[in-house]
Structure 1
Amino acid sequence: MAVVGTGFGGIGAAVALRRAGHDRIALFERGDDVGGVWARNTYPGAACDVPSYVYSFSFAQRRDWSRPCSPRAEIHDYLWRVAHDHGVLDDVHLRTEIVEATWDEPTCEWTLRAADGRTFVADVLVPACGQLTRPAVPDLPGIERFAGPVFHSAEWDHDIDLTGRRVAVVGTGASAVQFVPPVAEAAAHVDVYQRSAPWLLPRSNAPYPRVVREIVERVPGVQVARREGGRLLLEGLIAGLTVAPPARAALEGVSRAFMRLQVPDPELRERTRPDHPLGCKRVLFSSAYLPALGRDDVELVADGIDHVTEHGIVTADGRERPADVLVWGTGFETRFVAPMRIRGRGGRELSEVWGDAPRAHHGITVASFPNMFLLGGPNTNLGVGSVVEMLEAQAGHLVDALARLDAAGADAMDVEPTVMAVSDARVQERLHGSIWTRCDSWYRVEGGRVTANWPGFMREYAARVRRVRPSEYAFWSRPGVADVTATAATGTTAAAATRAGTAATTAGSSAATATAAGSSAGTATAATATAGAAGPTTEEAR
């Protein structure tokens, strides 16, 4: 089984598979360490804006978080330890970017190709590469002439000392809200270029007093209570964005009051006033960002950027503001599984099948792409809440699907097109007229369709995907193996099959080799993979 990505989705899927008895798993990570965005995003102030006791796996509850919303390093360490404690690290191929996956009908297997040319074969494909992983960089006129360092917040250049320098920050999204305050502390001057002002809510994130940490660690039930309380609070916020407009209006009032208190200057307050209803775009949590904008050495620039010069940025009003360093706080490209190209039955490419309307049954399975299970797929994001809960539910769905496949004695399963269409239509019907349709954001595509967000509650989604319905799928075996479609559809079981392990084939020069072998429905496959080209193991990299 091939899992692409080692963030919360990939690690959660691998742990779920291992706990269900599957031990032939390979995870592919393009970076130097596991952790996904929490390994790569190292900008100053990087942290989660959801309490860590909720933004974590239910099966791996940590009681010693240093503060409610943990900094990046703690979250990264948590993910690494979960992978280590559940035996996942040995299954990880670091510095291995999967760029293509192709379904082979005769063998009922996926062939994966890495950027360096190596190939891997697996019977199950789990893209868990996340939607917000590729930095979005605007092509500003004249940017090539800028004389100073230029980098994106997701690729922070720690070799650049910002002390005493003039820094231009382009963008005011979730990352910028976190890194602008510490950058302002170090730089001589910061210009923050804003296209759209975000809604902000307070975030009290002081370190836990020692007595609180001891109570959580030693008193039975406290950890469970605070996790359940956090989940209920998030579900209440979700209700405000989905089914309870008065609650959303009240939340908007709270945000207005909070922002007004944080910005006493009337002129700056006007520039920080959002031009869209709360919840239409991502709501941000910070009690440090607005005060940073009010500093004498920080300017919030609301005029549009006209072009970049060798030594600064010129706005639409013709004014040039000098800059020594330019930092993109412009977010990420919002394409599912990109830039990986996935070809399903008949050679159909997933991006072409989707066009500008990504869709999947429960956000997990796509018709004509057998044995593929998306994690973090279309319409499984949340306007507010813990996406970890969604990913954990999807991992459970994956495990149940493989159990159904084994029970049917089949080699492949594919969601019925009509099932996917009806499932998608119901989600879109609930999203019609929702708060997310009332402005342009990464939640929706150019045509107006909301492709990112789930229209309901976290627990509702988890209940919906808890069990796979065999009648919603077609099952079949490799050529020469008895057809099991009819019995699978009625729920009649055949001899259970052992899931095939990931088999890899590649060319390389290292003497160190690893063999992966597995069997499915009585058919065995084996291959030898050269391990040296992939670099050191995760344990060594850590």
Structure 2
Amino acid sequence: MTTRTEALIIGAGLSGIGQAVALTRSGIDFVVLEKAPDLGGTWQSNTYPGAACDVEAHLYSYSHTKNPFWRSTYAGQEEILEYIRGVAVRRGLLPRIRFGTQAVSARWDEDTAEWTVETADGTTYVSRFLVLGVGGLHMPQIPELPGSATFRGSTWHTSCWNHDVDLTGKHVTLVGVGASGVQVVPHLAERAASLTIFQRTPPWVLPKVDAAIPAWRQRLFASLPATQSLHRLGIYLRREKRGFGFHTRPDLLRVAEPIVRRKIDEQIADPSLRALVTPDYPLGCKRVLFSNDYYATLNRPDVHVVPGSPAEVRPDRIVDEAGGEHRTDVLVYATGFDLTGSFDRIEIAGTGGRLLKEAWRDGIHGYQGLAMPDFPNMFMAGGPNGFAPYTSVVSNIEAQARYVVQAIRTTRSAGARALTVRQDATDRFLAEMRTRFARTVWAPANCRNWYQNGSQGGTVLWPSSTLHYRLRLRALRRDDYEFLPARESVPSEK
């Protein structure tokens, strides 16, 4: 069975739904493929205790579909998922989403100027334009530890939480203290008999200024939408102001470091533990985390922080790098994600059969966080250099969605079969990214982090303000693209 459409979106997370809304508003026919039984992407799969966003809810939502009834400043996983579902229903997207449909390959046909996408259930989808909204926080990154196969307890990654296992009275080991690790630690400590935390690098953890949003304010936002828009704008501008220290003036962040260290000193009583959990790298170099009870939890007598990574797994023990053994019934990995894994799981072949994973052999990269040379009519929502970690990703998602619509319209108006970004334009873009990245707090001169990820642009981040990014995507630079002319029809012989 073959289904044809103008545009095909793979993924029904924030990026995919955002693109679907933009296409709907522009009258462009599309279909969305989602391998999960429900939409939501990251917020559908990450159901671990304490899962929440560290960006204010009023900003971590679409500007075109605001929610005046957010219950607190920072929303949790369930409320965010409820919001995304509400957007899909309100915008009439559900009939266009094919749930439980996993794309396994996508191939560009140069003769027909179309993408052919094969799925695991044998269904074929043919489209003129392809949008990859697969997300970067999707494929769990789990270390291969010696002896893992011998472990007799339960094991899972935070993104695949096993809610069937009762942690009460269990000895739990957590590997990793990134965003999900910091959020889940207090909840694990409340239930487990003991909690052992393997910490490779201590994170900077700042207080989370969260509060319930009063009913009167919800009613105000509902009755006067302009007030909510102003509130959202204020949050956005505050974060952009803060972001200046990340992408342009890292020295400004150093002013805050002594303040945060004093907070750690106040909350951690044991000097040895305090030294272990105090970062020795610049604030902002790695993702800054937020929690009001993380450090307090580390003080508990049944919580133990172990430096480094596990060295070995035994049937009921985890061995640390110093040879110490830690009794374990449940092993939880909070070890992040493989950024390119979401793209790699689909075999994507462009012009001449060139595979995307081969094009990325020397590092993940693209143009404007969206396009790749030799992959015509294909766009990567949230692709390399398409997001900034100091603010909401949604503003960039919306800019990308509008850009894709503009690209489709430009191709149509040019009477072309397809458009593909030029290699020289991509090279100029990557050179600019390397120059901008060198002055940021994330640059290698300051520290090592996953933001670098071997990218040809030096980073997978957008190393400037999101306002700058949005302005760049307001207009498609036609000179940066090649347009494949429509084939002339050949007169039939009589």
Question: Which residue of structure 2 aligns with residue 471 of structure 1?
Answer: 479
Q: Contact between 1:69 and 1:205, CA under 8 Å: does it hold in 2?
A: yes
Quote the RMSD (CA, aligned, Å): 1.7
Q: Aligned match of 1:21 in 16, 27, 46?
A: 27
Match of 1:425 in 2: 431
In structure 2, which of residues 375, 378, 389 is the aligned counterpart of residue 383 of structure 1? 389
The equivalent residue for 1:460 is 468
Contact 1:196 1:275 (8 Å CA) reproduced: no
The answer to whether the 8 Å contact 2:175/2:309 transfers is no
Relative distance call for 1:220 and 1:103 in structure 2 (3 A) is closer
Counterpart residue identity of residue 424, structure 1:
L
* Distance apart, 1:259 and its partner CA: 2.4
40 and 304 in structure 1: CA distance in 2 versus 1, 3 angstrom threshold = closer
User: Matched residue of 2:315: which SS?
Assistant: coil
Question: CA offsets, 1:387-426, max 9 Å, x none?
Answer: 1111110001001111111111112111121111112211
Contact 1:363 1:374 in 2 (8 A): yes
The aligned residue for residue 141 of structure 1 is 146
Once residues 185 and 295 of structure 2 are traced to their aligned partners in structure 1, the CA distance between those partners, rounded to angstroms, is 10
For residues 229-244 of structure 1, what are the structure 2 equivalents within 5 Å? 229-244=234-249
TM-score by length of 2: 0.94
Query: Does 2:189 match 1:158?
Result: no
For 1:490-528, what per-residue CA distance to the aligned partner results, in whole angstroms no more than 9, with x for missing partners?
xxxxxxxxxxxxxxxxxxxxxxxxxxxxxxxxxxxxxxx
Partner residue of 1:104?
109
Q: Does 1:311 align with 2:316?
A: yes
Structure 1 segments unaligned to the other structure (5+ residues): 483-542
Q: Hey, what's the Cα distance between the residues in 2 that align with 1:448 and 1:196?
A: 26
1:8-27, Cα deviation, whole Å (9 max, x unpaired):
100000100110111x2111
Q: Does 2:405 align with 1:374?
A: no
- Paired letter, 1:401: A
CA deviation vs aligned residue, 1:206-234 (integer Å, no higher than 9, x gap): 32233443444345643122211110111
Q: Which runs of 4+ in 1 moved over 4 A?
A: 446-449
State the match for 1:495 in structure 2.
Answer: none
Q: Offset at 1:281?
A: 1.1
Deviation of 1:292 (Å): 1.2
Q: Relative to 1, partners in 2 of residues 1:29 and 1:197: Cα closer, same or farther, differing over 3 Å?
A: same
Query: 1:363 offset after TM fit, Å?
Result: 1.2
Deviations 1:345-391 (A, max 9, x none): 01111111122322222111111111001110111121311111111
Distance 1:213 1:479, change over 3 A: closer
Alpha-carbon shift at residue 451 of structure 1 (Å): 3.0
Residue 83, structure 1, aligned to residue 88, structure 2: yes
SS for the counterpart of 1:337 is helix
Distance 1:324 1:340, change over 3 A: same
Alignment of 1:330-341 (within 5 A): 330-335=335-340, 337-341=343-347
Letter in 1 for 2:361: G
Q: Would you say the 8 A contact 1:357–1:451 is kept in 2?
A: no
Q: How many Å separate the matches in 1 of 2:483 and 2:126?
A: 20
> Secondary structure at 2:420's aligned position in 1?
strand
Query: SS of the residue aligned with 1:373?
Result: strand
| Secondary structure of residue in 2 paired with 1:390 | helix
Equivalent residue number for residue 4 of structure 2: none
CA distance in 2, matches of 1:277, 1:183: 29
Give the length in aligned residue pairs: 481
8 A contact 1:306–1:316 mirrored in 2: yes
TM-score w.r.t. structure 1 length? 0.86
2:213 is the counterpart of 1:208: yes
Of residues 181, 193, 198, the one that matches 2:198 is 193
Cα distance, 1:449 vs structure 2: 5.6
* Deviation per residue, 1:458-481 (Å, 9 max, x gap): 111001001112222111245335
Q: SS of 1:124's equivalent? A: strand
| Aligned equivalents of 1:329, 1:357: Cα separation in 2 | 25
Give matches, 1:294-373, under 5 Å.
294-335=299-340, 337-373=343-379
Q: 1:479 to 1:216 in 2, by over 3 A?
A: closer
Match of 2:255 among 229, 250, 258: 250
Amino acid at match of 1:228: L
User: Matches of 1:139 and 1:449 in 2, distance apart?
Assistant: 29
State percent identity of aligned pairs.
39
Question: 1:507 maps to what in 2?
Answer: none
**Given that residues 433 and 459 in structure 2 are in contact (C-alpha distance below 8 angstroms), is that contact kept between their aligned partners in structure 1?**
no
Contact 1:371–1:414 under 8 Å retained in 2:
yes
Tell me the SS of whatever aligns to 2:380: coil
Give the aligned residue type for 1:200. V
- Partner SS, residue 280 of structure 1: coil
Mark the CA change 1:34 to 1:303 in structure 2 (over 3 Å): closer, same or farther: closer
**Residue identity matched to 1:201:** L
In structure 2, relative to structure 1, the CA distance for the partners of 1:429 and 1:127 (3 Å cut) is same
> Is the CA contact (8 Å cut-off) linking 2:437 and 2:459 kept in structure 1?
no
Q: Quote the offset at 1:447 in angstroms.
A: 7.7
